[in-house]
Structure 1
């Protein structure tokens, strides 16, 4: 199962979508925009999971797609 992470950048001015341990490629200005993109990727690559992390890299929400 692939895991897609939504994480804030260092200064919390944007959000990244990371695919497992791969370096993030796109920076999104809003958290909801990043979550939408992560969910789209997860739906296209099922089974998958979207995990949203806070600034301390703790998972604050999780959604599975199968």
Structure 2
């Protein structure tokens, strides 16, 4: 199962998408845009799981596809 993560960068000026907890793949200005793109990626690669992290890098939401 692939795992995708949406997390803020260290100064919370952008949102990163990571696949399998390796180097970030994309940076977005808005959280909603990053979440939408990560959802699309996760749905295209089922089975998968999406973790959305808050500013403290704690899991705020988990979604399975």
Give the TM-score band, short-chain normalised: over 0.9
TM-score relative to the length of structure 1:
0.93
Counterpart of 1:10 in structure 2 is 10
| Unaligned stretches of 5+ residues in structure 2 | none
**Misfit runs of 4+, over 4 Å:** none
Whether contact under 8 Å (2:3, 2:49) holds in the other structure is yes
> Gaps spanning 5+ residues in structure 1: where?
none
> Residue 50 of structure 1 aligns with which residue?
50
Q: CA RMSD in A?
A: 0.8
Residue 3 of structure 1 deviates from its aligned partner by 0.7
Q: Aligned residues, how many?
A: 65
- In structure 1, how many angstroms separate the alpha carbons of the residues matched to 2:10 and 2:44? 28
Partner of 1:64: 64
